[in-house]
Structure 1
Amino acid sequence: MTSSSAPAIEVDHRFMRLALALGHRNLGRTWPNPSVGAVVVAGEPGFERIVGQGVTAPGGRPHGEPLAVAMAGEAARGATLYVTLEPCSHHGRTPPCTDAILSAGIARVVTAMEDPDPRVAGSGHARLRAAGIAVTTGILREEAYRAHLGHVSRIGLGRPSLHLKLARTRDGFAAGAPDKRLQITGAVANGLVHLWRAHSDAIMVGIGTVRADDPSLNVRLPGLAGRSPVRVVLDSTLRLLPSTHLVRSARDIPTLVVTTSGAPAHARRMLASTGVEILSVDAGADGRIDLDAALRRLGDYGLSRICSEGGPHLGDALAKADLVDVCTLITGPVELGEGGGLPAVGPHLGERLSSGHLRPVETRDLGSDRAVTYERSVPCSPDS
């Protein structure tokens, strides 16, 4: 129940925050569809009560709206539906969400943002209005844009959104001497990284990171092991060895290798026999993988949210290609000291940060570590 003196916009914000929280639960589980949260609220002003809620199911169907109105049942008649993205109005493998809303007798629909998908793009709102339903949109739009950034990017740019994560010492280094692993961050920061993994469609690294660290790239938080996302390795000449953790577990956790069309055929056959899936793209002028083409290929595959944990060289290459949408720098308390090592922030990423192309939006203390998150200052698409 809400206070009778609460302004209507405050009430709308309150229930939209709940819808966004519901949608956040299934981030990383619904691709190629966005994770949409929905809440059905009944009752007179000052006496509102939640009668239904839903979120896009794993695999992308059913959508959040029909789940929410089904939970509400008869209580949905005359009620308000809060939803984080414009309800779809086109026929796919399931009927349009607008059909479920109209059948339920919803009187008002409040959305956070229009769906950029050209199959929707305002037609869902228009259909609801044409049927006499009151529609309010733009409530907590900025928060919803962040939540649906992967969807916006894949639709608008043809590629997933990319979150670059880098750890560094207090004096700015990601690694010390060759072949010497450097533990930079503590347990709290490491736990956050695993939560990011659980909320991503995929984790991406380069072959250099695999050969140096032999990572597992899974989620190791209690109760969330089943949320390990797709692992992606960028490997232009297919140097990935069958003895690595990624290859040995490829039948348990989907593992993709993006390579060039000229990669050796025998290496393709060997990796394919282990359960690794090979995606080919053209090479750039330097003979390496064209990163823009790689992300577009991953977008075609259905992935919309990628977390890059590939280290400074890959991070700087992604920044040079202007493919970084979000960047988080986690700074630990220790210094590498005399002699230095590999800088965490390369020249191209440094320019993106110093110029404001990537602007700071959040600072968090994580135990003895500090994480600063930057976001692209220019939206993913002109209409965003």
Structure 2
Amino acid sequence: MATTHQGLTEADLASLGTLLGDLGRAARERRFEVAPNPCVGAAVLAGGREVARGFHERWGGGHAEARALAAAAESDVPAERWDTMVVTLEPCSSRGKTPSCVEAIGATGIRRLVVGAVDPDVRHRGAGLKLLEQAGVEVIVLEGAAPLEEICPQFLAWAGPDRLRRPHPWTIAKWAQTRSGHLVPPANADDNRWISCTASRDEVLELRGSVDAVVSGVGTVLMDDPRFTVRPPGDTQMRPLRVVLDSYLRTPPDYALLAQELGPGVGPVHILCQGGADVGRWHALEAAGAVVTGLPAGETDHVSLLDVQAWLWEQGARRVLLEAGPTLLSRYLKRDLVDQVRIYTGEAIGGEGVTMAAWMSSARFAERLDRECDCDSVLEAFSG
């Protein structure tokens, strides 16, 4: 039997390819939690046997390589026996929300890295592999064993040159609707404050704990008096920016949004208005703790959404949650600024105001997943 790569046989390589495919399929199950990051799976091997595996499970959380190493440390296999790491995508070489995976791998005794794909981002492509090779780690690339276009096509779009030339955050639109597509429940509902059930609302708290900013419109603020904070079961270590699009500064300074002290799960409030908005209201909101920023007017005499997206990017927001009513939501959708949706459909029928039914019937979704959350139906998808 032919021998390649310092003692690995063709059968060994085939086995590694099978493992990569298995890791890729398992990583793909987390695609909505990690986007726009790639779905990545990793495994630590010792003598050809799997010691532990790990996955990138949520935006801002530990990378697959670090999680696999942590799991291996909890095993009964001593670290000095670890010899190979298998990972579906080239390890990152730069520090971001987490330390570099190249550093983590290099700090172990692992002497072989098997990857399924090289990073498609031209800013980082090949950098991690080169650093590990320079550190004496053998690098094997098994192209096609864990194809990115199947595991995480959204990352290919995010990391592509077109997106890099248009730096806007990944935007997730979340809303709850009745069975008829209304975002406001019928007036005669048992509890007309909520469309979705408690379990669904808990999921939203978790979602808020995995984004850099929560964006809403002044209409939602006036109607619901929301806080937009991260509360358990969400990760309260996260403090996403709370951003309100309020062209004419109608947000009341005494609303709940501005009554929260900054702390765990409570990020700063930013109100984006048109330049030249009422100075008295501007000062009152700043006195209440908001940061007010004037932006140019866009279509229909509202703050320009393109400028909002650019502003969010400048603030360091890369993954943003849009929690808005039908007016602002429709503006985002019409401008193709929504990358991902999570739609909760409750048990109520009918409702007040406009309906999303027409949009739902014509929308194109990619990677669609339909599931249940207690009594609600949930649709998750990337924009098609």
Q: TM-score, normalised by structure 1?
A: 0.74
CA shift for structure 1 position 239: 1.9
Alignment counterpart, residue 78 of structure 1, candidates 77, 80, 83: 83
Measure the CA separation in 1 of the matches of 2:31 and 2:372. Answer: 25
Alignment counterpart, residue 168 of structure 1, candidates 177, 186, 194: 177
Counterpart in the other structure of 1:323: 337
CA shift for structure 1 position 266: 3.9
Measure the CA separation in 2 of the matches of 1:63 and 1:365. Answer: 28
CA shift for structure 1 position 10: 3.8
Measure the CA separation in 2 of the matches of 1:360 and 1:38. Answer: 19
Counterpart in the other structure of 2:288: 274
Partner SS state of residue 300, structure 2: coil
Q: Is the 8 A contact 2:46 2:82 kept in 1?
A: no
Alignment counterpart, residue 354 of structure 1, candidates 346, 362, 376: 362
Counterpart in the other structure of 2:255: 244
Q: Equivalences for 1:1-384 in 2 at 5 Å?
A: 7-15=15-23, 39-45=42-48, 47-50=49-52, 65=65, 74-75=79-80, 78-82=83-87, 86-89=90-93, 97-98=101-102, 101-102=105-106, 104=108, 105-110=110-115, 114=119, 116=121, 118-125=122-129, 128=132, 132-136=138-142, 139=146, 141=148, 142-145=150-153, 155=164, 157-175=166-184, 181-222=192-233, 224-227=235-238, 229-249=240-260, 251-252=262-263, 253-254=266-267, 255-336=269-350, 341-345=352-356, 349-350=359-360, 354=362, 356=364, 358-359=365-366, 361-377=368-384
Partner SS state of residue 301, structure 2: coil
Partner SS state of residue 133, structure 1: strand
- Runs of 5+ in structure 1 lacking a partner? 378-384
Q: Is the 8 A contact 1:154 1:161 kept in 2?
A: no
Q: TM-score, normalised by structure 2?
A: 0.74
Q: Is the 8 A contact 1:128 1:135 kept in 2?
A: no
After superposing the two structures, state which structure 1 stretch, 190-199 or 302-311, moved more: 190-199
Q: Is the 8 A contact 1:150 1:304 kept in 2?
A: no
Counterpart in the other structure of 1:382: none
Q: Is the 8 A contact 2:24 2:39 kept in 1?
A: no
Partner SS state of residue 208, structure 1: helix
* Gap change, CA 1:149 and 1:155, over 3 Å in 2: same
CA shift for structure 1 position 237: 2.0
* Gap change, CA 1:226 and 1:289, over 3 Å in 2: same
CA shift for structure 1 position 242: 1.6
* Gap change, CA 1:202 and 1:287, over 3 Å in 2: same
* Gap change, CA 1:94 and 1:213, over 3 Å in 2: closer
- Runs of 5+ in structure 2 lacking a partner? 1-11
Q: Is the 8 A contact 1:250 1:274 kept in 2?
A: no
For 2:276, give the aligned amino acid: G
Partner SS state of residue 242, structure 1: coil
CA shift for structure 1 position 98: 3.7
- 1:63-116 deviation per Cα after TM superposition (whole angstroms, max 9, x unaligned): 775786698695376311426x53344689999654554564430132566252
CA shift for structure 1 position 243: 0.7
CA shift for structure 1 position 235: 1.1
CA shift for structure 1 position 297: 1.1
Measure the CA separation in 2 of the matches of 1:63 and 1:189. Answer: 27
After superposing the two structures, state which structure 1 stretch, 182-191 or 88-97, moved more: 88-97
Measure the CA separation in 2 of the matches of 1:344 and 1:23. Answer: 28
* Gap change, CA 1:189 and 1:58, over 3 Å in 2: closer
Query: When the two structures are aligned, how many residues end up with a matched partner?
Result: 356
Partner SS state of residue 188, structure 1: helix
Measure the CA separation in 2 of the matches of 1:260 and 1:244. Answer: 21
* Gap change, CA 1:212 and 1:309, over 3 Å in 2: same
Measure the CA separation in 1 of the matches of 2:95 and 2:369. Answer: 39
* Gap change, CA 1:323 and 1:58, over 3 Å in 2: closer
For 1:114, give the aligned amino acid: D
Q: Identity percentage over the alignment?
A: 26
Measure the CA separation in 2 of the matches of 1:360 and 1:53. Answer: 23
